[in-house]
A = this chain, B = another copy of it.
Amino acid sequence: MANDEVILLDFWPSMFGMRLRIALAEKEVKYEYKEEDLRNKSPLLLQMNPIHKKIPVLIHNGKPVCESNIAVEYIDEVWKDKAPLLPSDPYDRAQARFWADYIDKKLYDSARKIWGTKEEEQEAGKKDFIECLKVLEGELGDKPYFGGDNFGFVDIALIGFYSWFYAYETYGNFSTEAECPKFVAWAKRCMQRDSVAKSLPDQHKVLEFIKVLRKKYGVE
């Protein structure tokens, strides 16, 4: 794999992009990071992801892999000799895929309502969001990571959101630590890993980014 050409099309605040950054860091894969301007998408992005036209896209030796959880699983299968991300047992693999899918289906939309809407809609989003976190906390239980003792697929699917929590808490006026202490302990544990710490943006920078979005969408 020494001569592999790996390119990541990404946008710095994307929690979906962060998944690939973390997976590539865990596998110690060298790659070229290309920042996209989402208001003016590059011809390369449109060519590599003509269906969804979204980041992140992993380009491996000229061939694209789209959709972040699918790309993380691809990275795990290609660079399989280092830091396994999915469990080896088929049942545990199915469970890991289930929880990554749950995060995609439930967490993003409710989180978006916290900073992107007002009044009842915002309150409903906050309620759903905290409910989701509690479900995830229940699944985590007393394990250090979602898959058990080792950092893996579900942790990667979820931890990127943590860089947005300061903004969620600011606009939603709540404390994640008070609501979901085990979740916060898990997030801090993940943040101690180099692969995570260097892949997540500063939470204050994310807040500034969301301030701009809120103005753009007329929320404030």
Q: Chain A: residues with CB nearer than 8 A to chain B?
A: 51, 60, 63, 65-67, 70-71, 73-74, 77-78, 90-91, 93-94, 97-98, 101-102, 135
Contact = CB atoms under 8 A, between A and B. Distances in A.
B77 A63 contact: no
Chain A binding surface, main DSSP class: helix
Copies in the complex: 2
A91 B74 contact: yes
Contacts of A67: 97-98, 101
A71 B74 CA distance: 19
Given A51-B135, A135-B51, A77 B93 contact: yes
B65 A78 contact: no
A105 B215 CA distance: 29
Contact of A74 (B60, B74, B90): B90
Given A65-B94, A90-B77, A102 B51 contact: yes
Contacts of A73: 94, 97
B51 A71 contact: no
